[in-house]
């Protein structure tokens, strides 16, 4: 049950102890939808997106696009129509950007469209700040001049020229932003040590549908041949592997029987392997994944890692699951330093976590 209070917040009231059963489809992936919405800035015309999740982050990105001059219409069933033909600003307001970490995705698109962007440093993330230095180094390699003024990043690109950019570490955000900026750069851009995440692949596939020339998405080396013009297109956002994985963990922790349909099981392979290691039954066939929980499960060690490793976004629900395992588990977080902020709350509920 969701209970509103104080006029500003909501709280969830959960009555536990029930076995979860059922079949469902995961919503569209937030981490794919947000950069794809930002990428619509590159189009000259309308873009139609399907399976867009109805969440606050999407509302904020919608407001950011509208602040730049875009017209956005939501239709039933998770469809969104974005018309960016009237976009006339390269400076989204701080009041919106500060609410959403993914707001920085508009930077690469604005640079490619206008040769300029003025974007406040992003916010909106409870697990701590996320550095954008890799993004900025990538932009500079393409010929973008970067300044920092009053907490905003000022990017000016007299010309964009392709380059070979070797990322110091694998970064989803930097891979996306460099790819966006490079779509209209002169010549060829090569991103080495690129992120492999399905959401990066989905963004690249969307850009290709707009007329971009990108190859190698889903591998450590992505190649972008710049083009002069991109057009609107129609695209369906991939399912959200984090939401799907969370439902699978919920099924396992309640000893239930839960099936997720309409998604590629490979996106959840790392989670499925760990669930099986605890004793849960996981069956992946075609475009579905089914988990069947058991009364008592074994401990297992987990190390988060970039895709295709164990997703950092699934670490918290999996720790809750492991807190009820019959033995001691070791969980190592390698992506975000502040990802364990929730542990004290689990301890208040009786979890033994050190």
d(CA 155, CA 36): 21
Torsion of CA 84, 86, 91, 92, to 10 degrees: -60
Catalytic member of 21, 59, 75, 125: 125
d(CA 248, CA 152): 40
Torsion of CA 247, 252, 255, 259, to 10 degrees: 50
Query: How many Cβ atoms from other residues are within 10 Å of residue 50's Cβ?
Result: 14
- Judged by DSSP in three states, 174 sits in helix
d(CA 208, CA 323): 44
235-248 burial: b if 16+ Cβ within 10 Å, else e: bebbbbbbbbbbbb
d(CA 351, CA 319): 10
For the question of residue 125 being annotated catalytic, the response is: yes
For CA atoms 24, 25, 27, 31, the dihedral sign is positive
d(CA 154, CA 136): 10
Residues classed as catalytic: 125
């Amino acid at each position: 049950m969701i209970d509103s209070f104080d006029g500003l917040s909501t709280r969830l009231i959960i009555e536990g102890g029930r076995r979860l059963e059922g079949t469902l489809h995961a919503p569209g992936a937030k981490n794919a939808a947000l950069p794809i919405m930002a990428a619509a800035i590159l189009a000259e015309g309308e873009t139609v997106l399907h399976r867009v999740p109805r969440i606050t982050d999407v509302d904020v990105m919608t407001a950011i696009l509208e602040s730049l001059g875009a017209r956005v219409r939501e239709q039933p069933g998770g469809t969104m129509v974005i018309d960016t033909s009237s976009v006339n600003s390269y400076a989204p307001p701080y009041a919106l950007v500060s609410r959403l970490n993914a707001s920085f995705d508009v930077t690469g698109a604005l640079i490619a469209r206008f040769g300029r962007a003025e974007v406040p440093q992003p916010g909106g993330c409870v697990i701590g700040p996320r550095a954008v230095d890799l993004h900025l180094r990538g932009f500079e390699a393409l010929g973008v001049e970067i300044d920092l003024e009053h907490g905003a990043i000022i990017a000016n690109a007299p010309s964009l020229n392709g380059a070979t950019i070797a990322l110091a570490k694998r970064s989803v955000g930097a891979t996306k932003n460099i790819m966006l900026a490079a779509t209209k750069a002169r010549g060829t851009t090569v991103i080495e040590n690129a992120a492999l995440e399905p959401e990066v692949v989905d963004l690249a596939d969307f850009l290709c549908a707009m007329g971009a020339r990108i190859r190698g998405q889903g591998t450590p080396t992505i190649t972008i041949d710049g083009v002069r013009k991109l057009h609107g297109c129609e695209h369906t956002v991939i399912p959200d592997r984090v939401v799907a994985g969370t439902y699978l963990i919920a099924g396992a922790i309640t000893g239930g029987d839960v099936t997720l349909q309409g998604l590629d099981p490979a996106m959840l392979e790392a989670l499925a392997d760990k669930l099986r290691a605890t004793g849960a039954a996981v069956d992946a066939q075609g475009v579905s994944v089914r988990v069947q929980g058991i009364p008592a499960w074994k401990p297992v060690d987990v190390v988060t890692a970039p895709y295709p490793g164990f997703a950092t976004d699934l670490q918290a629900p999996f720790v809750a699951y492991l807190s009820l395992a019959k033995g001691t588990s070791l969980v190592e977080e390698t992506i975000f330093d502040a990802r364990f902020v929730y542990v004290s709350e689990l301890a208040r509920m009786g979890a033994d976590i050190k």
